[in-house]
Amino acid sequence: MQQEIVTVGLDLAKNVFQVHAIGAEGRVIERRQLRRAEVLKFFSGLPPCLVGMEACASAHYWGRELMKLGRDVRLMPPAYVKPYVKRGKTDAADAEAICEAVTRPTMRFVAVKTPEPQAVRD
């Protein structure tokens, strides 16, 4: 029986993103790389889940896009995620650390920013 994904750690990059997904029991269900064009397609195929990302400029954009798909998106300051990295600095290790950190009860989160309305020109 396929276990359902409940938490996803998404490590953002320029072109290739790293995904680390776990089920309700904490077992790893999926570890994979996604190209930028594949991200929304991947998440649209998942049931509603918690998605964690490190807060950065592009995280706000991706957060808004994933929230449109009904995902619970939480952004964390990178300094708060760093203690959860278990081994060397790789994208896969970062995604795993993000997945772990987003589930911690004492974690502090950053709100997803909404874009400012464009000024109307005459």
Residue 118 resides in a domain: no
Q: Among 3, 13, 29, 19, which residue's Cα sits nearest to residue 99?
A: 19
User: What tens digit of pLDDT does each residue of 37-84 get?
Assistant: 999 999 999 999 999 999 998 999 999 999 999 999 999 999 999 999
Residue 16 resides in a domain: yes
What's the whole-model pTM score? Answer: 0.89
Give the per-residue pLDDT at 114. 86
Residue 68 resides in a domain: yes
Residue 53 resides in a domain: yes
On the question of pLDDT at 97 being above 60, the answer is: yes
The tally of domains found in the chain comes to 1
C-alpha span between 94 and 46 (Å, rounded)? 21
- What separation in angstroms does the CA of 96 have from each of 18, 26, 116? 9, 12, 32
| Residue positions counted in the chain | 122
Q: Among 110, 17, 25, which residue's Cα sits nearest to residue 60?
A: 110
Residue 113 resides in a domain: no
Give the per-residue pLDDT at 112. 93
Instruction: For residue 84, give its domain range.
Output: 5-102
